Structure 1
Amino acid sequence: MDRQTPTLSDVARRAGVSYATADRVINNRGGVAEKSVRRVRAAIEDLGYVRNVAAANLAQKRTYRFAFVIPEGPNSFFRRLRNILETARPEMLVSRVALMVESVAAFDAAALVGCLERLAEDKVDGVALVGTDDARVCAAIDALRAQGMAVLTLVADVQGARPDGYVGIDNTIAGRTAGRLLLLAHGDRGGRVLPIVGVATAHDHAERLAGMQDTLAEAGGRVTSAPLIEGRDRHDIVEAELHRRLAEDPEITAIYSAGAGNAGLVRVLARRAEGRPIVVLHELVAHSRQALETGLVDVVIDQRPEDEIQTALECLRAMADRRDLAAPAPIVPAIYLRENLPPAAEASQFGDPVHE
């Protein structure tokens, strides 16, 4: 007959204490003599007792409070993240998880630090943030962890900080994938790829760009990389700069957009009277989906934000429960062509194709 899983009552009996005393020791509530604490801990080890965290939290009516810090502005991908979180909010409350969605200006380190400091004062159980490489942001992340809060970086890792983990794609591999796709599209022909990033100092964009350029270089340099455009993830800047660069450099055969602002890119391509460059970009949102369907772009690399949010929530809950947590595996991105697009979702999920 299989041995039954030991209960807290078994622990109390083995230790020779009351159930209430054993419960106080298990849940670290104090007020127990050191001699009794030692006996309870010895009984736990002897019996192999494992605390049922979920049951304990349910009994205590504990509600987890997790905050997600997402850049605001016209970026459709970040709107998609916020929409996913807002949709999940009612369902998560049933599981005693209260979600807070905080918005800060994109690429604004001071605003992000201010938000993290407010969350520290509010003593939330965990934070997942889209960060930026800045010493002040790193210090704020480390301060949260020093207070015992779980901290994850989301979408882009933050260099110099020590979060509990990173949830997102491997951006270097994503860039290398883009480079391989561009080489395949060029065949035996030479070419010149125009990269577009938000800002060159953004860690995720820099990794994607480096991955793409390394892959092109390894192929012998028949396809090269042109000087990049910094669009600050704004469609108006991307539109103006791309229009200018295509007019100035007729040797450009391809575009790799590693950031956002791609509605501006699509508008430039839609106005071209002659053939367009090969185009690889990131994130399946309304305008990129429509551009694939109408043949204005060739490939969309999507980082599957639904999976990122689910993984982040699972990790935050595990850390709040003080459970051992292995480093989350990188999210494997989806590669979409016109032929393998998923069924169309509600427009609210993917963002506004006009104003991104």
Structure 2
Amino acid sequence: MRKPTLHDVAAAAGVSYATADRVLNARGNVSARAEAQVRAAIARLGYRRDVHAANLSRRRVYRFRFLLPSGDHGFFRSLRQSVLAEQAARAQDRVAVSLDAVPAFDGAALAGALARLTAESCDCVAFLGVDDPEVAAQVARLSDAGVAVLTVVSDIPSPARAAYVGIDNIGAGRTAGRLMALGHRGRAGRILPLIGTRAAQDHAQRLAGVAQVLDAAAGIALLPAVETRDDPARMRAAVAQALADAARPTGLYSAGAGNRGLVQAVAALDPAARPLVIVHELVPHSRAALEAGLIDAVIDQKPAEEVAAALDIMRALADGLPVPPAPGITPTIYVKDNLPAQPAPAPRGDDP
């Protein structure tokens, strides 16, 4: 049985094709009676608009934008490179993907970048969430203006954002806590969590997750978290100071970035005195540290999958279609023995 067309809808409604088209595309200049007839015919016939064909006929170009943290951090660079790869792959489908860098964890800068967006310049925007009232206000403004807003990696507590794409960060923190507990089985321990900032929901949730597990682990104390702003120099200083204390930590859990500084501090230790180390994201420097035995496990959240999924959801939102559920991205736990093949070097793109 063939699918009904808009011509069929117009005939069933007793109106012209042009009138049916104006109703379908909300162009106005249609009487309330004619609009009701068209909508009734659409429901009766089970008509489904071919969005792809309509976009081709109108030569529509989708305008999707990513606002991602700047800086020479391995994970942020991986995110940006994933966007650039999708930018090239989706251009043939009339999808224009643009990328702007904003300072990490800077709510004012992110809010300013969002404030510059309008419905005339952007269909959808995605960014790493920062819990900031100015950001929340801009998200609400954009949503009211018809610009869909997504968060990736780190969410925000705002009903105005359309979707979140990323891992279960509480689950990731619990995973780190479970690995720490396994590594300390039979002996007491002191675990130092290192986060970028509590204003980043992913970091705050990972901290909550690791606490859930370690608070119930006999003999293992979770030390107060140290905020490093994902800065390698701050990370190195914080770790070096902690390891110089008489009651040094027996485990380090880095819930964010800046891990080159952590590796540098650990590398200065006698190997016999090295604590158990768990970090996030498989990037070149964390891979090298894993291979060298300077860290023990990496929890990786697959940034390329997150960017691809975000663009699929953006496309559905821009077409007015039901939003597909965000995929359940399950992080991978890497140890020295199960590392994937070394990827080919990627272009540095917008890195400084």
| Shorter-chain TM-score tier | over 0.9
Deviation at 1:20, TM superposition (A): 2.5
Query: Cα 1:84–1:61, aligned 2, differ >3 Å: closer, same or farther?
Result: same
- Residue of structure 2 equivalent to 1:297: 295
Q: Distance in 2 between matches of 1:326 and 1:188?
A: 46
- Residue of structure 2 equivalent to 1:225: 222
Deviation at 1:75, TM superposition (A): 2.0
Greater CA deviation, 73-82 or 26-35?
26-35
Q: Distance in 2 between matches of 1:328 and 1:114?
A: 27
- Residue of structure 1 equivalent to 2:267: 270
Q: Distance in 1 between matches of 2:189 and 2:297?
A: 17
Q: Distance in 2 between matches of 1:146 and 1:26?
A: 22
Of the three residues 251, 255, 272, the one matched with 1:254 is 251
Q: Distance in 2 between matches of 1:25 and 1:253?
A: 67
* Residue 147 of structure 1 pairs with residue 145 of structure 2: yes
- Residue of structure 2 equivalent to 1:192: 190
Of the three residues 155, 158, 162, the one matched with 1:157 is 155
Gaps of 5+ in 1: none
Query: 1:269-288 maps to which residues of 2 (within 5 A)?
Result: 269-275=266-272, 276-288=274-286
Of the three residues 238, 241, 266, the one matched with 1:241 is 238
SS of 1:218's equivalent in the other structure is coil
TM-score, L = length of structure 2: 0.95
What do the CA deviations read for 1:128-176 (whole angstroms, capped 9, x no partner)? 1112101111111111101011111111111245311111111111000
Amino acid at match of 2:282: L
How large is the RMSD of aligned CA atoms in angstroms? 2.0
Deviation at 1:121, TM superposition (A): 6.5
- Residue of structure 1 equivalent to 2:331: 333
- Residue of structure 2 equivalent to 1:73: 71
CA contact (8 A) 1:284 1:350 kept: no
* Residue 201 of structure 1 pairs with residue 206 of structure 2: no
TM-score, L = length of structure 1: 0.93
SS of 1:181's equivalent in the other structure is helix
Deviation at 1:326, TM superposition (A): 4.8
Deviation at 1:213, TM superposition (A): 1.3
What do the CA deviations read for 1:7-34 (whole angstroms, capped 9, x no partner)? 1121122122332322222111222333
- Residue of structure 2 equivalent to 1:213: 211
Greater CA deviation, 187-196 or 155-164?
155-164
Deviation at 1:70, TM superposition (A): 0.4
SS of 1:29's equivalent in the other structure is coil
CA contact (8 A) 2:119 2:145 kept: no
- Residue of structure 2 equivalent to 1:54: 52
CA contact (8 A) 1:238 1:262 kept: yes
SS of 1:128's equivalent in the other structure is strand
Q: Distance in 1 between matches of 2:57 and 2:27?
A: 15
What do the CA deviations read for 1:47-90 (whole angstroms, capped 9, x no partner)? 01011111111111101101111011232211111111112212
Query: Cα 1:255–1:102, aligned 2, differ >3 Å: closer, same or farther?
Result: same
- Residue of structure 1 equivalent to 2:135: 137
Q: Distance in 2 between matches of 1:112 and 1:196?
A: 23
Query: Cα 1:296–1:56, aligned 2, differ >3 Å: closer, same or farther?
Result: same
Amino acid at match of 2:253: Y
Query: 1:108-119 maps to which residues of 2 (within 5 A)?
Result: 108-119=106-117
What do the CA deviations read for 1:280-328 (whole angstroms, capped 9, x no partner)? 1001111001111111111100111111111111111111111122542
Query: Cα 1:156–1:78, aligned 2, differ >3 Å: closer, same or farther?
Result: same
SS of 1:89's equivalent in the other structure is helix
Give aligned-pair identity as a percent: 47
CA contact (8 A) 1:53 1:321 kept: yes
Query: Cα 1:90–1:348, aligned 2, differ >3 Å: closer, same or farther?
Result: closer
- Residue of structure 1 equivalent to 2:12: 14
Greater CA deviation, 236-245 or 327-336?
327-336
CA contact (8 A) 1:141 1:161 kept: no
CA contact (8 A) 1:197 1:205 kept: yes
- Residue of structure 1 equivalent to 2:310: 312
Greater CA deviation, 144-153 or 33-42?
33-42
Q: Distance in 2 between matches of 1:231 and 1:13?
A: 66
Q: Distance in 1 between matches of 2:209 and 2:345?
A: 32
CA contact (8 A) 1:135 1:160 kept: no
- Residue of structure 1 equivalent to 2:344: 346
Q: Distance in 2 between matches of 1:34 and 1:122?
A: 29
Gaps of 5+ in 2: none
Q: Distance in 1 between matches of 2:234 and 2:207?
A: 19
Amino acid at match of 2:254: S
Deviation at 1:226, TM superposition (A): 1.8
